[in-house]
Amino acid sequence: MKRILVIEDQTSIREIVSDLLREFELADTVAEADSIEQARQLLADACWDAIITDMSLSDGNILDLIESMQLQGYAFPPILLMSGFLYGESELRARKTGIRHILSKPFVPSKLIDCVQLMLESGRHAK
């Protein structure tokens, strides 16, 4: 049973991503968070097979959350980072946290689907 967490503060984007995951049957469970704090709670409460997240949320930067949880020993599943503003130092910082999948916004739905399929496949081999 695949579980994917979608972290995005823009309702329309969050709903599109979640709907695509369901439509293409990429996950049995799709949960949504619209803030860093909500994401922190969902990450602490359940295990996830993949995370799809925006970088800049209304209450902070997702990279700050990832780094702080990693310092506490949290092992993240594959992460797809979506951003319209990921360049240079921010991209390097994301890569240092272990993020291997980055999708520029706006994105074509087929690119999102392809990336999620690749993440889920790579996550299966990593375990």
Per-residue confidence (pLDDT) for residue 127, from 0 to 100: 37
Q: Is 88 left (phi over 0), alpha (psi -120 to 50) or beta?
A: left
**Cα 71 to Cα 47, 50, 67, distances in angstroms:** 18, 19, 6
pLDDT at residue number 125: 39
pLDDT at 123: 66
pLDDT tens digits for 22-54? 999 999 999 999 999 999 999 999 999 999 999
Domains of the chain, start order:
3-121 (3.40.50.2300)
- Three-state DSSP state, 101: strand
pLDDT higher than 90, residue 126: no
Is it the case that residue 122 has pLDDT exceeding 90? Answer: no
Query: Residue 6: what pLDDT?
Result: 98
Q: Which residue has the higher pLDDT, 87 or 111?
A: 111
- Express each pLDDT in 90-106 by its tens digit: 889 999 999 999 998 88
Looking at residue 124, what is its pLDDT?
52
Residue with tokens 């994401």, as numbered in its chain:
39
pLDDT of residue 78 exceeding 60? yes
